[in-house]
Amino acid sequence: ATSASIRLSHIQPLIRTANHNLPALSSAIVAYVKSHRINVKIWYYKSPMVA
């Protein structure tokens, strides 16, 4: 129970700052996901497992 409350107290400021920086954060997440997906595709096509 104590670890959960500590976690919550740590998360609340992060949520507060995330709400302030939501547009920048969401665009950064989208950019990361897009680049990550491209990396996964490149790795998949370069993989010898793919016939």
- pLDDT of the residue at 34: 84
Single pTM value for the model: 0.35
Dihedral over Cα of 34, 37, 43, 47: its sign: negative
> Helix crossing, 2-20 with 22-46: angle to 10°?
100
- pLDDT of the residue at 50: 55
- pLDDT of the residue at 9: 82
Q: Tokens 């129970």 belong to which residue? A: 1
Domain boundaries along the sequence of the chain: 25-51
CA distance 27 to 3: 32
Q: What is the pLDDT of residues 10-42, one digit of tens each?
A: 888 888 887 777 788 788 888 888 887 777 777
- pLDDT of the residue at 7: 75
43 pLDDT exceeds 80?
no
